[in-house]
Amino acid sequence: MRSPRAALYLRLAVSLGLIALVIYLFRDRWREVATNLLRAHPWLLALGVLLFLIAMVINALKWWVLLRAQEIAIPFRAVLNYTFVGFFFNNLLPANIGGDVMRGVGVAYHTERAAQAAASVVLDRIIGLSAYMSVAALASGITVFVTGRSDLQVLVLVAVVATAALAVVAAVLLSRRVRALVGRVIAATPLRPLHAIWESLSTAFEAYRYRYRSLLLAYGIGLGGILSTSWVNFVLSESLGGGISLLHILLFTPLTALVLIIPISIGGLGLNQVAYPFFYGLVGTPAPHALALSLFIQATQVLCSLPGGLLWLRWRREKR
């Protein structure tokens, strides 16, 4: 128990350290940040929350498509519930790993097919990130082409490399030969006790090998999810007075999401507030505006995750 607890304390320290850093960097500009927050348009804030809920429904639909590709008969309402539960844990545990675990546990509890549930969650995460990074690659390419700013070419490289890496990971998981090779490596190393688990996962991934239509559909739905999330950022930025183009939102929303999966903070707290001023500062967005936007995004995420907490409490009572 000491190791997980130590990791938790470390990530808590990182979040607090990043918050302290933000407080220091904005020590002379908090009045501007407060002015941005206080002048926010309430109806646009409400619209941002609504769009975020729509994005969560879209992401649940993507996962549901992947579950059905394995012939797992589970109602969409249950998948939506587990999506909200997972999102609730995303805001409590480091990065997004905790939420993915809870989603898998929920489906495994509902269907008694743990390996298939785990495989669907892993592939859902990969496809979702692939959609995010492909949008970032396209948006960054257009940004560099339109503005002619060579200093932003590194963003194109990051997005393209990330997209290619995710595609390779997906191909590996769907390749029978590569999975068999990984299984032999596990069996011949100290990881041998995990061999049975890997074989179960390998069998589960096999179900996706020829489900190209379902995989493409899930990717398309993932694109819809990133577009909806980007509109959340755009609407919340407009509530603060605007000034950030939708193209830049489409560029930096996926890159920020990529940063936030790094398991060094609690629910992205602190990391979020550092990432927004950094990325949007590259295109001239005033730092107080970017920081205020990050605070509204964080608040929207916490607010929209609260139903997941209530669903989790009900789930616990049902299990008892």
Pure H helices in 74-174: 76-90, 97-111, 114-147, 153-174
Q: CA-CA distance, 15 to 210, in Å (whole number)? A: 43
Instruction: Tell which phi-psi region holds residue 285, choosing left (phi > 0), alpha (psi between -120 and 50) or beta.
Output: beta
Kindly report the number of other CB atoms within 10 A of residue 3's CB atom: 7
- The per-residue pLDDT for 210 is 81
- The per-residue pLDDT for 273 is 92
- The owner of tokens 């992205």 is 268
Q: What is the SS3 string spanning 248-271? A: HHHHHHHHHHHHHCCCCCECCCCH
| Cβ atoms of residues 254 and 132 within 8 Å | yes
- The per-residue pLDDT for 1 is 41
Kindly report the number of other CB atoms within 10 A of residue 65's CB atom: 25
| Cβ atoms of residues 68 and 214 within 8 Å | yes
> Distances from the Cα of 83 to the Cαs of 63, 101, 311, in angstroms?
9, 11, 10
- The per-residue pLDDT for 240 is 93
Return averaged pLDDT per consecutive 10 residues of the chain, 320 residues in all: 64 86 89 90 95 95 91 88 90 64 82 81 88 89 80 85 87 84 85 82 82 91 94 95 90 88 78 92 92 94 90 77
For the chain, the structural domain boundaries read 42-319
Q: CA-CA distance, 230 to 51, in Å (whole number)? A: 9
Q: CA-CA distance, 140 to 266, in Å (whole number)? A: 29
CB-based burial of residue 146 (10 Å sphere; 0-12 exposed, 13-18 middle, 19+ buried)? exposed
The model's pLDDT over 84-95, given as tens digits with 9 standing for 90+, comes to 998 898 876 654
Alpha-carbon Rg of the chain, whole angstroms? Answer: 20
Q: CA-CA distance, 293 to 277, in Å (whole number)? A: 9
Sign of the torsion angle spanned by Cα atoms 110, 96, 76, 127? negative
Pure H helices in 207-242: 212-239
Q: CA-CA distance, 209 to 129, in Å (whole number)? A: 20
- The per-residue pLDDT for 221 is 95
Instruction: Tell which phi-psi region holds residue 71, choosing left (phi > 0), alpha (psi between -120 and 50) or beta.
Output: left
CB-based burial of residue 75 (10 Å sphere; 0-12 exposed, 13-18 middle, 19+ buried)? exposed
